[in-house]
Amino acid sequence: MENYLVLRIAHSVPAVLLLLGVIAHIVIVWRAKGKEPAVLQQKLRRTRTISLPAFAVLTASLPITGWWMAHLAGWPLSQKWLMISIALLPLIFIFGGFLYSNLSRWQLQSELQQSTSGRDQFLGLLWALLVLLLLLAISALMGAKPL
């Protein structure tokens, strides 16, 4: 198999896993919030300790494989689609940090048997949707690149 094709696959798989994973976790946590607090607490703990760090590693791999792919293809790194997608990546980490903090607060309130405010639930959904929107924007920019 050609190196460039392998690299395209190595760049596409994390992007698809990120999109599907974020969507799945939004649905899982949102469905668990209506159940008993122990179930919600378990879902939040798994999301914070396993999924979000794995998503961060997958997100961090995107610029590396993207640069390598652009280098092998001979594209100049000053192309507009590439610069915009690189500029959006730090926002994913910022919003992901806000999401992590919000889920931590939500989990702590669940452990203490306190009711979570609607504001905290709304902010958790907002951060998750912003991360999802940024991932979609980056994927769209990567898909719009010249072949």
Give, to the nearest 10 degrees, the angle between helix 80-111 and helix 118-143.
160
Task: Quick: pLDDT tens for 77-93.
Answer: 777 877 888 889 899 99
Cα–Cα dist 37/107, whole Å: 9
Q: Is the pLDDT of residue 127 over 90?
A: yes
Q: Where would I find the H helices in 33-115?
A: 37-46, 52-73, 80-111
3-class DSSP state for residue 114? coil
Range scoring the smallest mean pLDDT among 110-119, 123-132, 135-144: 110-119
pLDDT in tens, 60-70: 888 888 888 88
User: Mind listing the domains of the chain with CATH numbers?
Assistant: 3-143 (1.20.120)
